């Protein structure tokens, strides 16, 4: 497969408007005005869903950092402990867990702020390329999907509610992928 380099003059058979553009076989099909409108709607949906995902991450981070008690009743249930047996726990456990949840909450909120930046970018009608969507997919898998899976493993009281952030993340990624469908990524870097 040959690639063309941008030149100051058109190659044989090229018009000046085609200089530097990828060959027709490398471009996504032109969907016309309807396709552009469809991509714009997907971009708006992606912006909204990334915004919801961002708000969720920041809110969850604030909850973990400032409000979550060291041990929830479901934590004690999973450990096979009850309230009277808590007297046997190490003396610094609650303080240690407070610090752990502060760090964890800060990480959750930081991810939310980065997601908010993506939502703002999409709201400005700037596309996200395929590599970025893959990275956000990994972020979603490592954040909301792992949290949901672990809460199911723990038998958490919140396990069914935690499916919603996974759905929002999935919707945001799918919408962003559809919105950027007109741009193909060249494996050597950059857009094709």
| Size (the chain), residues | 192
Q: Say how far apart CA 64 and CA 75 lie, in whole Å.
A: 14
Q: What are the helix and strand counts (H, E) for the chain?
A: 6, 0
Residue 94 zone, left/alpha/beta (φ > 0; ψ -120 to 50; rest): alpha
pLDDT at 72: 87
Q: Residue 118: name the closest of 191, 50, 55 by CA.
A: 50
The neighbouring-strand residues paired with 185 are 191
* Predicted confidence pLDDT, tens digits, the chain (192 residues): 455 444 455 555 555 555 555 554 444 445 556 678 888 899 999 999 999 999 999 999 999 999 999 888 888 888 887 766 665 677 788 899 999 999 999 999 999 999 999 999 999 988 888 899 999 999 999 999 999 999 999 899 999 999 999 999 999 999 999 888 754 444 555 544
Delimit the domains of the chain by residue range: 33-179
**Cβ(133)–Cβ(176) below 8 Å:** yes
């Amino acid at each position: 497969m040959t690639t063309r380099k941008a030149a100051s003059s058109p190659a044989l058979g090229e018009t000046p408007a085609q200089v530097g553009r990828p060959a027709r076989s490398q471009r996504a099909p032109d969907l016309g005005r309807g396709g552009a409108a469809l991509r714009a709607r997907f971009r708006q949906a992606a912006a909204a869903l990334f915004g919801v995902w961002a708000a969720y991450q920041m809110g969850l981070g604030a909850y973990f950092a400032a409000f979550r008690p060291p041990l929830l009743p479901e934590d004690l249930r999973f450990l096979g402990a009850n309230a009277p047996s808590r007297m046997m726990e190490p003396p610094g456990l609650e303080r240690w867990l407070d610090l752990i949840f502060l760090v964890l909450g800060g990480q959750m909120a930081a991810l939310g702020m980065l997601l908010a930046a993506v939502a703002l970018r999409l709201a400005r009608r700037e596309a996200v390329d395929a590599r970025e969507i893959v990275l956000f997919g990994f972020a979603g898998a490592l954040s909301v999907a792992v949290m949901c899976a672990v809460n199911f493993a723990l038998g958490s009281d919140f396990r069914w509610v935690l499916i919603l952030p996974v759905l929002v993340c999935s919707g945001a990624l799918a919408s962003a992928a559809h919105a950027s469908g007109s741009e193909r990524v060249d494996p050597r870097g950059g857009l094709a």
